[in-house]
Structure formats: C-alpha cells, structure tokens
Amino acid sequence: MAKFFDIHPHDPQARSVAQVVALLRDGGLIAYPTDSCYALGAQIGNREALDRIRAIRRLDSKHHFTLVCKDFAQLGQFVMVDNDIFRSIKAVTPGPYTFILPATKEVPRRMAHPKKKTVGVRIPDSRLIHAILEELGEPLLSSTLLLPDEEEPLTQGWEIKETLDNVVDAVIDSGDVGAEPTTVVDFSSGYAEVVRRGMGDPSRFE
C-alpha cells in the first residue's frame, strides 16, 4: 500500500520532504506533482524502479526517460550542451519543458536511449520539487504519469493513490495539478525539433 503525503506546494514541510527522500533512497517509486502534470520518480541508479515504470506505462526500450534537475549546474553533469542550445534552454527554464540531449557517462546506460545515447532533462518551476531535489542531492529519474490507453494524465492525488496503490510506494498530493505534460524539444541533432506539444509554448522552438 502506497504512503500518502499531503505537502504544501509553496511552503513544503521539511519533515514530509525528508520522509519522501528517505523513501527514494530506500529504493522507492513515487508519484509526484510537477509544474505540468503528475510524474513517476525514483533515484537515478534504481534499476528496479526503472523496470517498474516501464511496466506501469508499458514503455518500450526506445522511450526517453527524464532527469528532473534542480538547476543548470546539476543538469550540466548529465548532458552535453553547447552555448547556443544552453541559451535557448535557459530562456524558458524553470518551466514545463523537457529537452532531449546527448547523455554524458554519468547517465546509467539503461536509462539512455539505446541507439541515440540521449536522455531527457528538465528544470521544473516547483518549490516542492526543488525542496525534494535539494534534500536528495541529485536529479530524479522521472517519467510522465500517463497510463496505457489513456489520453491525459491523472490529476488528483487521491485518484492516483486508488489506481496505483499496489504499484508505487508513495503518492504526493499538493493541490491542483495540470493534465498537460511538458513540451518536449529534441536538441540531439544540434537544432530544435519539437517532438511533443504540451504545456510549454513550443513556438519559440519552431
């Protein structure tokens, strides 16, 4: 049965954040709210959680997982980004965008795209996530909580708890959450290609 955390979105309770991070460090898989929609999250090197996310979402090996980062210093450890692309990304972050970039050796091989050797990264505009990342000290392995055969993600914490009670270890509720995933921009070829239109305005990358 999943634990349920009710955490304030703008003033996250330190004790609850510490409990969530302890659960992550213990190998747990969480469902958590972002600045776009709910996502599934775990520690980077957690192979079992990676497989659990694949099973929950029925993902194939070509799916791009995302590293949710606290800031650009953290992001720069895991992806290769030149100055022009850096400026493009910096102009819209923090915010509801995911960027696909070549992965560095810091990214576990099973997490990167098997052929392209790329990974998704993003810096969300969320005090709750920032608090979790600050306590954790590293990015979160993450994937949008979009269930198979569903067109939109679940938006209510209690609904996610009922639906995924036996397949995740914790659900975080922090009030209203959107139903639209991030806009995804692929920079892996050196130029911007919008591969998913979402909450972030894609026009500046088209």
Which H helix or E strand runs over 74? helix 72-75
**DSSP character for 61?**
T
* Phi, psi of 41, deg, nearest 5: -140, 150
Per-residue pLDDT at 66: 96
Distance CA 160, CA 162 (A): 5
Digits of tens for pLDDT over the chain (206 positions)? 999 999 999 999 999 999 999 999 999 999 999 999 999 999 998 999 999 999 999 998 888 899 999 999 999 999 999 999 999 999 999 999 999 999 999 998 888 888 899 999 999 999 999 999 999 999 999 999 999 988 888 889 999 999 999 999 999 999 889 889 999 999 999 999 999 999 999 999 98
Q: Is the pTM of this model over 0.75?
A: yes
Please name each of the domains of the chain with its CATH number: 3-205 (3.90.870.10)
CA 182 to CA 13: how far, in whole Å? Answer: 26
Alpha carbon distance 114, 88 (integer Å): 26
Q: What is the DSSP string of 86-136?
A: HHHHHTT-SSSEEEEEEB-TTS-TTTS-TTT-EEEEE----HHHHHHHHHH
Residue 48, helix vs strand vs coil:
helix
Residues 196, 105, 168, 175: is their CA dihedral positive or negative?
negative
